[in-house]
Structure 1
Amino acid sequence: MKKIILTIILLTIMVLPIFSNLLFPDSVISTEKVKFDSGDTAWMLVATALVLLMTPGLAFFYGGLVGKKNVISTMFQSFLAMVVIMVLWVVVGYGLCYGPSIGGFIGNPISNLFFNGVGANTSWKLSPTIPLVLFAMFQAKFAIITPALITGSFAERIRLWPYILFIILFVTCIYAPLAHSVWHPDGIFYKMGVLDFAGGTVVHMSAGWASLAGAIFLGRRKIQNINPAQVPYVLLGTGLLWVGWFGFNAGSAFGANAIAAQALGVTTASAAAGGLCWMFLDKIRGYEITAVETCLGILVGLIAATPAAGYVSIYHAISIGAIASLISYIVVSEFPKGVIDDALDVFACHGVAGMVGMILTGVFATRAVNPALVNQEGLLYNGSTLFTNQLIAVGAISVFAFAGSYLLFFVVNLITPLRVSEEVETFGLDSEQIGGEI
């Protein structure tokens, strides 16, 4: 039965796009000449490539942290997200995120099925200087990495096909509504004035809360790995993520402009402060400074900078990275791993730092950095409305992401068991699922 279903899906993927111009006659790309800014377009092409690079970087980061028997399978899950979500994005994902608004919560995908109307001679209303297809491809990379982030929470114990089904449902049912609500001009949080420059809510909070849900639902591993298998992989992954984050944050300015430069500076400063703070905290508690722990601090600083990057000063970015590092460090240290097995501390890093970054954006955002912030300055600048809106968004999105993700895990598990057998877990997922070992 499984083979029949897979064959039907494969044939649909191969055949249906061939007839898309008959199904959607309006999708013929216009030949009308539209003038875009060449500098903005060039930068966004580079930024799109940098954001895609983050997912292989994440694969190395996660792959280095797990046990030796599960390195390849853990890394492979990130690459699976690249191929599965990219096809989903073209078929229906873009429309769900950026199609005509339905109640401010989700986009209507009908008009953009199979990238209908997404061409090189039109533009997105908030990025008028670059082609729409470039905007769509840039946003696709955000949709790819978000479910890949979740894999760290249920590392070393999930089956391959249920994982694929889960990430499809997650992007469709959790990621898309959040992206539409926060980033679409008609989205409910966008219209409230909530600020999320590059994905503190849409990417990091959604992945963090889904990770917590997955860790609770799947239960503890039989054998909990203590020593990372490949520390050089962790260092390499951190470097790739840091470089890719410049595309992630600075690219969210949608142009080669002053806000992009500011976002790059904020990202760098916050990452460095996060890593430095984590090192100091280890020494204060009497531990040795280690490569893995320092990399966690850098990652937390990058995450916390994400919602704030285009709105805050660089000196405030140091505070954001340090504060997020402190709070995530406490959560990592005190997280009940004996009860909830979030294998790679995804919630404590991505979820917590995403929330801290969102809240601190409501403190430090200023028109001095971004003149577009009309009546949206932070608490430090007497802008209590923004701070309140940020808190409301953090609370509402936390509930939605956790409850919705837990429900998806439950549904997928009803269709096909999520967890590998005890035997597979003992011998390792690499040899049992992937057919190879390092």
Structure 2
Amino acid sequence: MPPPLSATGPDRSGVAPLVDEAIIEVRSGRGGNGAATFRREKFVPLGGPDGGNGGKGGDVVIVADPRVRTLLDLQRHPHWRGQEGVNGQCGRKSGRNGADCVIRVPVGTLLHDVGTGCLLVDLKQERDSCVVLQGGRGGRGNAGFASATRRTPRFAELGEPGQHRSIRLELKLLADVGIIGFPNAGKSTLVSRISAAKPKIGDYPFTTLAPNLGAVVVDHATSFIVADIPGIIEGAHAGKGLGHQFLRHVERTTVLVHLLDFASSERKGPLEDFDRLNRELALFNEALSLKPQVVVANKIDVSEAREMCQELQPVFASRGVDLLPLSAVSGEGVERLLREVVAYLRTDGRVDAKAMSEPQRTIAPRPTERPTKIDVSFDLGYVVTGSVVEKLVAMTDLENPDALNHLQRTLDGMGIMKMLKSAGIRDGDFVRIGNFVSNFVDEDGDGETP
């Protein structure tokens, strides 16, 4: 009897299941605050402002690591955050930058922005990386605000808040050759025959519950990666059975080895199996059905299977398909199979590559900034929203009167006061920007915030 199937936990061998999708919440580190200090030193009167800048917050970086095989850890630990920058100090000493948050994923992982649905990057090579969020800028110390007309600024800037993003990770295994077929067709046996991989093999359907990768060495100059895809059943394109969640893993392959079980008495026949599986591929992704296939008649070590193969070879040939007889158990026909696979790969340029290109480091676009707008609410008053103005308020020390004066002048220079007047604001009405709430006073930008 076959062992019971487990969809979530490890199997009896203790091997964790392949998890090929996960959603994580990431946040970059906040920048350190600037310092509002003045030089105090003997024999140096009126030393002036010397507050240093805050350190930059840590980025969130996702790296393709060949030692990571699954997204299971990220599914269990979905929250990641960069380190905050250190505050600036006196003597114009800048704070230390926050450490980056490095997330390691398997090679072949695609990163999607959940909010927009856009693909950020495809980490398809070892050590490829992507900065998905950049850390917040460190706040400027009061030395950065000194000018000819403002010689003793008594305020500094707070650190820029970190950014937030939801990312969907999708793993597509990187293999040159994908072995497909219905359950119990002998796919795992073939992988163990042509490579050093040792997949679980049993005389019952669905022995393989996760794709297995194996490296096939043909000669000293030719090798390729083969993937054993778990058995696909009819209706897999619609989510039936185990095949649907693994069909994505054959999308990157160059050639498919279509394995047909010629010794099975349970199904209606190899020819119908061939048509049904190709139909599932086309319904899932039309491009899959257009990939070149090496069609293999497996288990010809059984006499009935060998006879059936001889009978059906002309039928397949009439469709333009060269049926290749093979026994994964005895090894008969394996050399011919490898020659045909290598021929396809040489045409595509996937073998004989002597060196990999340099790892790529990508910086993902920042989350979309919201434009500045004003909403009028009976309860809240005039609410100003927008990425730029909200960040400006978040970096202002709202308990410091000098900082509030600087904020008002900056908002006036950005045209916010004109927008409020155009919206019909009057003296005494409430204005809300993020955490900042104040009564509006029309002083043409020359007065102080009340």
Q: Same fold (TM over 0.5)?
A: no
Q: Select the structure that is richer in strand.
A: 2
Shorter-chain TM range is under 0.3
Q: With structure 1 as the length reference, what TM-score do the two structures score?
A: 0.24
Q: Select the structure that is richer in helix.
A: 1
Higher RCO (CA-CA < 8 Å; seq separation 6+): 1
Q: With structure 2 as the length reference, what TM-score do the two structures score?
A: 0.23
State which structure, 1 or 2, has the greater radius of gyration over its C-alpha atoms: 2
